[in-house]
Amino acid sequence: MAMVLLTFVAIPTSQSHEFYGVPTQGNLLFPDHNPPYIGSKSVIINNHSTRPTDAKPRQTKTMAPDLSLPPTCPALCRYGQYSWDEASFALYTLVDLPAEDLDSLLTTLNKEWLENDNPKPIVRAPKVHNIAGRSLKDVVQAHVDLDKEITPVSGGEAEGNAGWYPPAFIVVTTRDWADKGLLFVFMDDTDDDEGNKEDPEVRQMDKFFFGLDDAPLLLSSFIFQDLAFVDAKEQYGLE
């Protein structure tokens, strides 16, 4: 904190003075006031801030994250040969969440699922889950880069089991997630007229917000393949 020290020196107060050779009358510093002697005085001025000490600090407005998506993401459609029955949905954050808040959210999302004797959580936070200050497109890239924890199996139709749900994930976009909900991001899973999925190069990405109370039924319906993503957006999407 910078300080400025000002010193007022003693000046005789006779009625007639010479100041740099120029005759003057009265007190040089206070012309209308002539005490017999003006003593020296030091004054410390704080030039760090002129704001009153009781003024409230300015609040910095937090910018809302960019929630735009790429048109498509074929890299998330390359896991059809694996089983997703025991996969977890990845949870990412576009805001900084304290560790206790993240733990509380994961506990809430997994509570009913684990109470039904399922062996693994239905939602987990990857090691790289904090994408705060960046965009939703960066989250998409993080999910593409995520090791899907493929475990090979033999003797079945699937080539292996995926540990992470490949074509969809969940994003925390605000610290007020309990009231504002969570964002579900997915690859469009609409079937064509013959019951097949569109080519990965043309399948679109989409998203919707859902309430925390709907999470148990919503997420388990995806695992059990009882509900399509596009239908879930219509039924559970928050305005």
Edge-first strand listing for the sheet containing 205-210: 123-124, 89-93, 168-172, 182-187, 205-210
Average pLDDT of the residues of the chain? 81
This prediction has a pTM of 0.73
What is the arithmetic mean of pLDDT over 180-207? 85
What spatial distance separates the first Cα and last Cα of the chain, rounded to whole Å? Answer: 50
* Distance between CA atoms of residues 14 and 239, nearest Å: 83
Q: What pLDDT score was predicted for residue 195?
A: 66
Give yes or no for residue 239 having a pLDDT over 70. yes
Tens digits of residue pLDDT in 226-235: 999 999 999 9
The predicted pLDDT at position 31 comes to 45
- Confidence band for 50, pLDDT divided at 50, 70 and 90: very low
Task: Output the pLDDT for position 20.
Answer: 38
Better-scored residue on pLDDT, 199 or 166: 166
Domains, the chain, with CATH or none: 3-46 (no CATH), 74-236 (3.40.50)
Interval 95-124: pLDDT, tens: 999 999 999 999 999 999 999 999 999 999
Quick one: pLDDT at residue 196?
A: 73
The C-alpha atoms of residue 189 and residue 198 are separated, in whole angstroms, by: 8
What is the pLDDT at residue 64?
86
> Tell me, what's the pLDDT at 55?
52
Task: Show the CA angle centred on residue 21, arms to residues 16 and 22, nearest 5°.
Answer: 55
